[in-house]
Structure formats: structure tokens, C-alpha cells
A and B are shown apart, each in its own frame.
Chain A
Amino acid sequence: DTEVTQTPKHLVMGMTNKKSLKCEQHMGHRAMYWYKQKAKKPPELMFVYSYEKLSINESVPSRFSPECPNSSLLNLHLHALQPEDSALYLCASSQDMVTSGEDTQYFGPGTRLTVL
């Protein structure tokens, strides 16, 4: 089973709202990722968690706040977003980010976020 699930599928929020995106995987993966994807563009890496610790932050604005409550869950808390933050937010997971080798990232279906 290579399933990564994400909720909600769609989210509309105002610039003053606080909302959260959720990602879950049950593959025993120890690395989890958040990506932002604009229409017809490749995904852009935002954050990487390894063994529940934040390992990589690709200079993402603080209005995006990731959280990894346990090895299966990854959240992205949103606050005071801008209209330009409207995008598809993808979660991914992989075995881990320490061991090199035939590791592959598996993606969830994404959350389509619209900021009004």
C-alpha cells in the first residue's frame, strides 16, 4: 500500500483566517514532506520532516507552520495567508531522508487552497 491521504480536498479561506491541512500515511515512512504547486508548474518543496523533527525549511514564510504530531501525521497550519498563496498543497512521504538508495517519494492527492 503506497497511500498518502490528505484532508480537506478543497479549502477556501480569508486572509485573516486560521486553518490547517492534514496529511496521513501508514507505510511506516519516517520522512514526510510538504510541497506547494501552482497550476501547470512542478511542485516546490516547502518542508521536510525526518523522524518527526523538522529537517528542512526551504525559506518558507512564517505564515505557514508545519507540525508532525507523530510518525504517521503531518499538519500544515495556515495563518494570515495572501491570495498568492492559493495553490495545490501536496504532502509526500518516503522511507527516510538519511539513508541513500532506492527510496521514493509517494505523494498524496493534495489540498486545493484558495485564499480570498
Chain B
Amino acid sequence: AQTVTQSQPEMSVQEAETVTLSCTYDTSESDYYLFWYKQPPSRQMILVIRQEAYKQQNATENRFSVNFQKAAKSFSLKISDSQLGDAAMYFCAYRDGGSNYKLTFGKGTLLTVNP
């Protein structure tokens, strides 16, 4: 079974600084997708970024970028120029390419942004 590990239960960053959240996963599949979701205290789970395993290029969405290391099964999220609104629980998630419904989530990293 696939597993997703987020080894940092909590992280903090100063406003305007950069922070990296770690995620590792275990799978025997070659076709899969990886996601970072953000869940602020207001509760709504929002997609931050998505990476397809077959793409070597790291995904980027504005201030959010990933470092996807397929051989190492690592998928870290970098947040640049951190803003107060980035404070949230961040979940890393995995999905097999052949299965559209089963998202395997990590336990989450709670990010605090200090002014």
C-alpha cells in the first residue's frame, strides 16, 4: 500500500522568508500524481500545486514550487516570500495514475507565519 510521510508536524517562518515543507512517499507504481493541499483555519481544503510523476520539470504556482525527486520519492513544497495568509495545515497527498478516487494523505504540517 502507498504511504505518505510528512515528518514535520509543525513549522514556523517569518513573514517574507522562505520555508520548505517535506513529504516522502512510498509506491511501486510508475504512474502517479502528487498534490499539496492547504487547509487554513477556515477549514476549506485548497489545492496548492500538483505534480505528475512522468514530468521531470518541477511544478510551480506563483510563490509555491515543489522539488520532486522521483528516485528518492520525495516531494517537498517551497513557499517563497511567506505571507500571513499562508498560515495553514498543509497536506501532501498521493494518487495512483490508474485510480482517480483514492487520495492517500500525509498527516499534515501546521505552518505558522510570524509577522
Contacts and interface: CB of A to CB of B under 8 A. Distances in A.
B51 to A, nearest CB: 10
B100 interface: yes
Given A90-B45, A107-B44, A110-B44, A40 B108 contact: yes
A109 B33 CA distance: 23
Interface stretch (B11-19, B65-73, B91-99): B91-99
Interface centre among B43, B46, B47, B89 (most CB of A within 10 A): B43
A48 interface: yes
B113 interface: no
Given A42-B107, A102-B52, A110 B101 contact: no
Contact of A100 (B43, B91, B99, B103): B99
Nearest to A44: B105
A48 B89 CA distance: 24
A90 to B, nearest CB: 6
Interface in B43-92: 43-47, 50, 52, 89, 91
Chain A residues touching B, range: 20 to 34
A42 B105 contact: yes
A109 B42 contact: yes
Contacts of B44: 107-110
Given A107-B44, A108-B44, A98 B100 contact: yes
Interface in A58-100: 88, 90, 92, 94-100
Interface of A: 2, 31, 33, 40-43, 45, 48, 50, 55-56, 88, 90, 92, 94-110, 112
